[in-house]
Amino acid sequence: MNFYAARQPILDKSKKLFAYELLFRDSIDNVFPDIDGDEATSKMIEASQFNMGISEFTGNKPAFINFTLETLKQGYPEMLTPDEVVVEILETIKPGKQLLALCKDLHKKGYTLALDDYEHQNVWAHFYPYIKIIKIDIQVSGIEEIREVLKATKDHPHIKMLAEKVETYEEYDQMLQLGFDYFQGYFFAKPEMIKTKNLSPSQIAMAELLYETSKTELDLNSITNVFERDVSLSYKLLRYANSAIFKRRNEISTIKQALVILGSGELKRFIGLMFAITANPNKPSELINLAMTRAKFCELVAEDINSQLDASIAFLTGLLSMIDAILDEEMATVLEKLPLSQEIKNPLLTKKGIMAALIKLVEFIEQAQWDKTTLVMEKLQLDKDKVVEHYNQAVTWADEQTQAAD
């Protein structure tokens, strides 16, 4: 059984990760709205119990999960702990005495309740004492409607407001000024503003390493020289090589020893991670995590395709698919400054070819656009279950790597 879900980050006012919403389907072939809500939720819970745990998939952050009235009545939220889940009450559920009783019971047991895609009705005031989060789709609700909700809830300071489908920084700033606490949408994964700037010395060093590791044959002397020019980078390499994820018995103490023991593939992953992290330290950590997930996903799928793609190149290309958002510059401007092979640059600039299709595939998975996901997989002749498995592996791997790099 595979865990068919996409996770979408929810950030706080400081653009730090607060939680994930899990967007689930019982099969990648089943596309909303044809899926039955009760079945989707029940399969989500089943998967969390017997396959990949919710906490594993969300990096121990709370998981926002949609519940229908029927699944609430059947007690499905209680199959997860209050720390694991935020119980989202679907907008299709009408407020009534039965729902109110269920909300009171879950609240008493310590569960966090959220109203999904909220549209204001006075009757919801009876639920406010038990609700901690109200989600508003800002692409549907206008400013006046939003202000009406804020006015209606002002006497309930425990209620936090969550803006959904925030796609631009302008929208984020607007909702921030209105008093929203949480933000969901891919505003953080787009360039904040278009500007031209020079790369710093450390970024140039990282760019050199990216170039060196994109070659078929690695030049260990050249790579060692770059590391030795940057004390901070050398320290991070040694720390990474000695980290618990590799379960090594003997400590690694020199740069060359670390490079040899890590090997080509792991070295490329480390350098990609370091470049993403050092490129713009002011960016949300979830942006880096998303880039790492894409990188690992592209690498894993490239290994399935075999001769058509080099897995290491696929990793770097997937990673750099978000470099415009990380550096706040247009993709073409960024790539002009980086000494990378055309094999990496072309898919990112032209959006054509197998590698570009892989990046588009992972974007569709991130957004839970399962119909479009299926079309790309069919075009690339990929096994659907393997694709889902690779995405799950990539999510877990990215979480582990970014934690190890802290």
Is there a single domain that holds both residue 43 and residue 74? yes
- 318: helix, strand or coil: helix
Q: Do 243 and 129 have their domain in common?
A: no
Give me the DSSP letters along 87-144: EEE-TTSPP-HHHHHHHHHHHHTT-EEEETT----GGGGGTGGG--EEEEETTTS-HH
Question: pLDDT at residue 27 above 60?
Answer: no
Q: Cα(367)–Cα(21) distance, rounded to whole angstroms?
A: 11
Handedness of CA 400, 271, 305, 343 (dihedral sign): positive
Residue 340's region, left for phi above 0, alpha for psi from -120 to 50, else beta, is beta
What is the C-alpha separation between 67 and 39, in angstroms, rounded? 10
Where a domain ends, among 163, 189, 215? 189
Q: For residue range 91-114, what is the model confidence (pLDDT) as tens digits?
A: 888 999 999 999 999 999 999 999
The number of folded domains in the chain is 2
Entry pTM: 0.80
What b-and-e string marks burial along 338-361, b requiring 16 or more CB atoms within 10 Å of the CB? bebeebbbbbbeeeeeebbbbbbb
Is 250 found in the same domain as 148? Answer: no
Is 116 inside any structural domain?
Answer: yes
Asked if the structure places residue 195 within a domain, the reply is no
Based on the fold, state whether residues 144 and 291 are members of the same structural domain: no
Does one domain contain both 73 and 164? yes
Q: Is 196 part of any domain?
A: no
Of the two residues 312 and 197, the one the predictor is more confident about is 312
My answer on whether 141 and 280 are in the same domain is: no
The answer to whether residue 194 is domain-embedded is no
| CATH number of the CATH domain containing 211 | 1.10.3210.10
Peptide bond between residue 33 and the one before it cis (omega within 30 degrees of 0): yes
- Biggest CA–CA distance in the chain, Å, is 72
Domain assignment of residue 331, yes or no: yes
Quick one: 63 and 119 in the same domain?
A: yes
Separation CA 173–CA 239 (nearest Å): 38
Tokens of 139: 């692409």
**For residues 30-48, average pLDDT:** 48
Query: Which pLDDT does position 1 carry in this prediction?
Result: 43
pLDDT winner (highest mean) among 98-102, 209-213, 310-314: 98-102
> Which of the listed residues 129, 156, 189 is the one where a domain comes to its end?
189
At 371 the pLDDT is: 85
* pLDDT of 34 strictly over 50: no
pLDDT for res 270: 80
Q: How far is CA 212 from the centre of its chain?
A: 28
CB 58 within 8 A of CB 398: no
CATH of the domain at 81: 3.20.20.450
Among candidate residues 137, 156, 189, the one where a domain is terminated: 189
Structure tokens at 188: 């953080």
Same domain, residue pair 106 and 136 = yes
Q: Please give the Cα distance from 186 to 389 (Å, whole number).
A: 23
Instruction: Select the highest-mean-pLDDT range: 70-84, 322-336, 350-364.
Output: 350-364
- Closest listed residue to residue 11, CA positions, set 314, 321, 286, 233: 286
Question: Both tokens of residue 280?
Answer: 């713009």
Gap between the Cα atoms of 200 and 99, Å rounded = 56
For 212-228, what is each residue's pLDDT tens digit?
776 767 788 888 888 88
**Rounded Cα gap, residues 209 and 72, in angstroms:** 53
Report the share of the chain in percent with pLDDT over 70. Answer: 84
In this structure, the answer to whether residues 272 and 334 fall within a common structural domain is yes
- Residue 114 belongs to a domain: yes
Assess whether 169 and 300 both reside in one domain: no
pLDDT band at 183 (very low <50, low <70, confident <90, very high): very high
Domain holding 167, by residue range, is: 5-189
Q: What is the average per-residue pLDDT within 120-147?
A: 95
CA-nearest of 284, 240, 286 to 61 is 286
Tell me the pLDDT tens digit for each residue of 254-309: 888 888 888 877 787 788 777 777 777 778 888 888 998 999 999 999 988 866 78
Q: Characterize the bridge pairing of strands 17-24 and 5-12.
A: antiparallel
One domain for residues 158 and 298: no
Q: Is residue 347 in a domain? A: yes
Residues 154 and 12 occupy one common structural domain:
yes
- Hey, which of 131-135, 234-238, 247-251, 298-302 has the most confident mean pLDDT? 131-135
Q: Is residue 79 part of a domain?
A: yes
